[in-house]
Amino acid sequence: MDYPNGKKSQYSRRPSAANQTMSFSNRGMTLEADINATNTFYREMDKAMIHKKPTPVQIVNVHYPKRSAAVITEGYFKQPSTTDYNGIYRGQHIDFEAKETKNKTRFPLGNIHEHQISHMKSIATHGGITFLIIRFSVYNETYCIPAETFFPFWDNHLNGGKKSIPYETIQRQGYRIPFHYQARVDYLTIIDQLYF
């Protein structure tokens, strides 16, 4: 607010450029945070027991700036991680990887590692339910891609084929995951349609 004589008030509330940037940069939650919130809701409703897998890290060096606080200053991964999430739903083992891309036209297969696909293939071989959740953040669209649909793209990629999956292909062959207030990434609705 300005005074009638044209002077600026010391209490002016015009947002600075820094504040405007900050408010736009934190508009939405990340895919991982959305899935974690969804899994918490599933557990609270006793619908499923699905958790994020911790990445195994070997701590090498710790700095103690205060007696009450420790800061890890050096560490390394003990082994390659498998997929992001696993658990039990309706008596079935569930195992999936979640990836987010800012790309508007395709999902780069370089976002996934070969050991993760090997793990997923093993889960499928043993009768578990495995899939990918892919979010196109520019469109705020999230898709479930069953492993059986995804594996041919991966195998083709390893044999010199395309290094990405076009957005239109994911729209056609994937399943759009509905957004709900509590189950932000309600992927079990898709799993119900596909497997039960």
Residues in binding site for Mg(2+): 82, 84, 97, 116
- Binding region: 82, 84, 97, 116
Cα–Cα distances in angstroms (integers) from residue 63 to residues 75, 78, 180, in the given order: 12, 20, 42
Q: How far apart are CA 100 and CA 136, in angstroms?
A: 6
Q: Helical H runs in 16-105? A: 17-25, 31-44
Question: Hunting for tokens 């999430």 — which residue is that?
Answer: 85
Q: How many CB atoms lie within 10 A of CB 195?
A: 13
Q: How many CB atoms lie within 10 A of CB 117?
A: 22
Instruction: Please work out, in degrees rounded to the nearest 5, the angle formed at the alpha carbon of residue 179 by the alpha carbons of 173 and 183.
Output: 115
Beta strands in the chain (DSSP E): 49-52, 57-66, 69-77, 85-89, 92-101, 106-108, 129-136, 141-146, 164-166, 175-176
